[in-house]
Amino acid sequence: MLDRLICHQGLAIFFAALFLLELGGCSSGDTASAQGGTSPLRLDPIRPEERSHLLQEIGVSSLEELPRIALDVEVDDTLSLVRVREEMRIRNSEDRPWNEVVLRLFANAMTNPPPLRLLSGRCLETSCRVEAQSPSVIVFRPSAPLRPRTSLRIAIELEGQVPEIAEERLSLMAQGLESLALIEGGSSQRAGDYGLFARGGGILSLASFYAVPARRRQGRWETDDGGTMGDLSTDALHHVEARFSIPSQATLVATGIEEAPSSISASRKEVRVVATAIREFAALISPSFSSESCTTQGVRVRSFFLPAHREAGTSIAQAACRSLALFSQRFGPYPYTELDVVEAPLVGGAGGVEFSGLVTVATMFYRDGLDLPFGGVGALLGSMLGGSQGNSSGFASMIASMREFVTAHEVAHQWWHGLVGSDSRRHPWIDEALAQYSAILYVEEFYGPARAREEAERQVAMSYRLMRLQGHPDAPVDRPISAFRNPIAYAGIVYGKAPFFYRAIRETIGDQAFFRALLRYASSHRFREASPRAVVDAFVAEAPSQAQAIRRLARRWLEESHGDEDLGPSDPLLLIRNMMPPEMGAIFDDPMFSSLFNQFVQQFLSPSPRSSPSLPLPSLDPSLLNGEAMEALGRLLGGQASSHSNNQNNRRPSPTSPSQPSQPSPKRIPWTSHPR
């Protein structure tokens, strides 16, 4: 469902923070007839051209065979208290009777203490016993077993205090330091809450807040998640119809389509939402949302953001439109009428989250500055370099690249796991690696192969290289989440190494067969769940003469451990230099700085337990740097050259320096503005 830990974007934040941390001192539409439901099932969230073959793609005779969930959600005026009344109709699609039905409440599995409380539960058309086995597991036992091809209607009521995320945690620097703390935690550190069910920065995020059927494996309900890393969700298709009661001045953005709001009182309004054939439902609410939109491939793409972040919100709208157009061409048509991209208060290393028809991007990517700490040496540098908060053009460009890559990655998830389902707990590489490689394809399409290679190293391979430099071993890609010891290993293998399997396949079979195979894979598994090797089979089908080579590559990349050979050695200084803006080059060329920084990196990357890394502050006196390095540091932090620098050595690198990557202007799609 989402990228919940230090993956491509979180690691990039960490590297940006690593250097600075030490310097700084710390409507009604078409319907399908209902069978046992309370109202006709609406199809207007599905594009008209997709509706006629939807049943065939899902593999059902009626859409009513999928679970159908009705939500009545009341949010208080402070966006801090949520009450949910939920009704669900679930059908036994197996050949044996069910003695029980198990629901999962994933928000309670992610957050400690659990934020949601079960107030009541009951069956609507029969008697049953209801038991909360744990905060995230609710069991319904009907008086008579649920026979095959029959349905059970159940109802629950939930209430929860929404956790608040402090404003200072939402900056790029703060999240970089949280990433650093996660790395410092060693193998015992677990992934935690990422702000999915939370409020912060004036935005309420409602995700994983309603109960869904638990996974079914071999005739049994699954209640053991094997940890909290990765995607905690059911993966199964279902329908949602929701009614939200919210403050009248607030804007709601949700999976599916929202109807025009209706007034409840002078201070309250009601918004109805319908979402058909989705895997996850989420909603975000804010009294301050502004928006931009565009239309591409017959789909309306909307970007929602805080007013102060309009520049970033506009660029995200553009990137989402371009991504949707490209991926529709490469992977087949997007099935829904809308796609929303929304700013969200994500924390804990999560840079983006995907849901069906909606993706979120972390607030930290909407801010161009690093929010430098201004204590100790940070205060000295801030005063000396003009009081900058790290808002140089180099860092702004770096953040913009990260933001665009994250957006493309999350939009790609609309195909990989959204449209083409997969088992995100046992085989997490399937959707994550392909979403990563799809983002690389986006960069290649709009900025050229050279820039794509740079971003592949900076945004993808970096995860693997940091993992190895931290002393974690290489490992096979295709493993369940429970097999990964910690978030660093999970990110390194699934996000950092696995995507390059697709590069190896592409180089072997050529572009034509490669893209035909991805289209075949997507078309054959639309609205279904793909088997662990279905994508490999698609490559073999499109390049049968290369079948043996494809299978060998699959074994090498997915079942064996050759990452160091295939991706090359990991040099810590080169790694971190690659993560920095080009204007940092002169700083790293300075012998004094290079020596000190190498000491810091080696200390930090040592896998043994240690206290917070630091070098003697006197050795970081900026006056020790040569003039060219000091000039680069000044540009990095947005100030002018310091009077501490040696003027005769105060040389600016040429604008045509080879360290500055070429960045052709991207192809553009027009959009319209809708301030709110």
Mean pLDDT confidence for 349-369: 91
The mean predicted confidence, pLDDT, of the chain is 82
The half-sphere exposure of 536 on its side-chain side, counting CA atoms within 13 A, is 19
Query: Which tens digits make up the pLDDT trace of 302-330?
Result: 999 999 999 999 999 999 999 999 999 99
Mean pLDDT check: name the lowest of 368-377, 391-400, 506-515. Answer: 368-377
Looking at residue 592, what is its pLDDT?
A: 72
Q: Closest by alpha carbon to 459, among 429, 428, 437, 486?
A: 437
What single letter denotes the amino acid at residue 604? Answer: F
Query: Which tens digits make up the pLDDT trace of 428-487?
Result: 999 999 999 999 999 999 999 999 999 999 999 999 998 998 889 999 999 999 999 888
Q: Closest by alpha carbon to 101, among 69, 65, 137, 135?
A: 137
More confident residue, 602 or 128: 128
* Angle, vertex CA 130, rays to CA 128 and CA 133, nearest 5: 150
Looking at residue 590, what is its pLDDT?
A: 72
Euclidean distance between CA atoms 166 and 209, whole angstroms: 21
Mean pLDDT confidence for 387-409: 78
Q: Which domains does the chain have, with CATH numbers?
A: 2-408 (2.60.40.1730)
* Residue 242 and residue 254 in contact, taking contact as beta carbons nearer than 8 Å: yes
What is the percent of the chain with per-residue pLDDT over 70, rounded to a whole number? 75
Bridge partners, 263 (sequence order): 269
Is pLDDT of 608 > 70? Answer: no
More confident residue, 579 or 152: 152
* Residue 338 and residue 318 in contact, taking contact as beta carbons nearer than 8 Å: no
Strands (E), 279-370: 282-286, 290-296, 299-305, 338-344, 352-355, 358-362
Looking at residue 254, what is its pLDDT?
A: 98
Looking at residue 164, what is its pLDDT?
A: 96
Is residue 225 very low, low, confident or very high in pLDDT (cuts 50, 70, 90)? confident
Q: Closest by alpha carbon to 543, among 501, 498, 508?
A: 508
Q: Report how far apart, in Å, the C-alpha atoms of 553 and of each of 190, 504, 517, 563, 566 are.
A: 32, 7, 16, 12, 11
Which residues, including other chains, have CB under 8 Å from residue 351's CB and lie 6 or more apart?
3, 7, 8, 9, 10, 13, 361, 362, 364, 365, 402, 406
Looking at residue 98, what is its pLDDT?
A: 97
Structure-token pair, residue 481: 């989440």
Looking at residue 378, what is its pLDDT?
A: 43
Within 96-202, residue ranges assigned H as helices are 106-110, 172-184
Mean pLDDT confidence for 376-384: 41
Mean pLDDT confidence for 111-135: 95
Q: Report how far apart, in Å, the C-alpha atoms of 118 and of each of 112, 233, 487 are.
A: 16, 19, 30
* Residue 8 and residue 462 in contact, taking contact as beta carbons nearer than 8 Å: yes
Angle between helices 511-524 and 534-542 (to 10 degrees): 130
Query: Which tens digits make up the pLDDT trace of 634-667?
Result: 544 444 333 333 333 333 333 333 333 444 444 4
The burial class, CB within 10 Å (0-12 / 13-18 / 19+), for 59 is: exposed
Mean pLDDT confidence for 269-277: 98
Is residue 38 very low, low, confident or very high in pLDDT (cuts 50, 70, 90)? low
Within 295-420, residue ranges assigned H as helices are 310-331, 377-384, 393-412
Looking at residue 416, what is its pLDDT?
A: 97
Within 128-267, residue ranges assigned H as helices are 172-184
Euclidean distance between CA atoms 459 and 401, whole angstroms: 9
Query: Which tens digits make up the pLDDT trace of 208-218?
Result: 999 999 999 88
Q: What is the DSSP letter of 126?
A: S
Looking at residue 634, what is its pLDDT?
A: 52
Query: Which tens digits make up the pLDDT trace of 490-532?
Result: 999 999 999 999 999 999 999 999 999 999 999 999 999 999 9
Euclidean distance between CA atoms 305 and 320, whole angstroms: 14
Mean pLDDT confidence for 368-385: 48
b/e per residue 517-538 (b: at least 16 CB within 10 A): bbbbbbeebbbbbbeeebbbbb
What is the percent of the chain with per-residue pLDDT over 90, rounded to a whole number? 64
Mean pLDDT confidence for 389-410: 82
Looking at residue 20, what is its pLDDT?
A: 39
- What DSSP line would sit under 77-98, residue for residue? TTS-EEEEEEEEEEE--SSS-B
Looking at residue 446, what is its pLDDT?
A: 98
Is pLDDT of 377 > 50? Answer: no
Euclidean distance between CA atoms 616 and 137, whole angstroms: 51
More confident residue, 76 or 186: 76
Query: Which tens digits make up the pLDDT trace of 43-93?
Result: 999 999 999 999 999 999 999 999 999 999 999 999 999 999 999 999 999
Euclidean distance between CA atoms 344 and 303, whole angstroms: 12
More confident residue, 669 or 148: 148
Within 111-248, residue ranges assigned H as helices are 172-184
Q: Tell me: cis bond preceding 113? Omega within 30 of 0 counts.
A: yes
Bridge partners, 197 (sequence order): 206
More confident residue, 228 or 245: 245
Query: Which tens digits make up the pLDDT trace of 522-535?
Result: 999 999 999 999 99
